[in-house]
Structure formats: structure tokens, C-alpha cells
Amino acid sequence: RKEVEQDPGPFNVPEGATVAFNCTYSNSASQSFFWYRQDCRKEPKLLMSVYSSGNEDGRFTAQLNRASQYISLLIRDSKLSDSATYLCVVPLDTGNQFYFGTGTSLTVIP
């Protein structure tokens, strides 16, 4: 089983829609989680950190479900500028490595 798994999509949604992505992880001891955004041919950039049950920043909400070992990212009122690939990242508690999901592609359509 992969350390981190994401639905690759693509997700194509109209402007103003609400969209949610899920990410499952295998290491139950992981303590912190991150969502990164990556635009085409650019480096990944941090979108949100999740250290407890969840985090909210404007239109973006990240939630953590430790029992089921998944984190989710909810985007409300989607904008054209939200079109990107969203990467789920889980640092291993027992190692020194960040594991990245393969990413979920989002396209917001006018």
C-alpha cells in the first residue's frame, strides 16, 4: 500500500461550485499533514497545514479523520484561479521524510 493515496481526478467544476478532495495515509502515527498547491510547471506551495482535527482559511477547509486515516480539502465558491493540482503531504513520524500523494487535478470552468 502506498504511504499516501489521492484520487488523481481530474475534477472539472463550474465557477462557484464546492469541491472536496480526499487523501488517505497509511501511517497511523503521523502527527501533521499538509495540503500543497502546484500550478503547471511550477513548484509546490503550501496551501494549508493540519495539526489537529482541521483548519480553515477563507474558502478552504481541511479536515482530519484519524480513525479512518484520511484528510480532506474542501474548496467553496471555486474560482478560476483555483485551477491547479492539489498535493496531500504526510511526514512520517518514524522517519525524516515527507510523502507526497500523486496529486488531484482541479479545473474550474467559467
Partner 1 sequence: NAGVTQTPKFRVLKTGQSMTLLCAQDMNHEYMYWYRQDPGLGLRLIHYSVGEGTTAKGEVPDGYNVSRLKKQNFLLGLESAAPSQTSVYFCASSFSRNTEAFFGQGTRLTVV
* Site for partner 1 contains 14 (CB under 8 A): no
Residues 91-110 that bind partner 1 (CB under 8 A): 91-93, 95-103
Number of residues that bind partner 1 (CB under 8 A): 24
Distant-in-sequence, close-in-space partners of 85: CB < 8 Å, separation ≥ 6:
37, 38, 39, 40, 103, 104, 105, 106
Q: Which residues contact 93 (CB under 8 A, 6 or more apart)?
A: 27, 29, 30, 31
Please select the residue that binds partner 1; options are 18, 42, 53, 56, rule is CB under 8 A: 42
Applying CB under 8 A, which residues contact partner 1? 31-32, 34, 41-46, 49, 87, 89, 91-93, 95-103
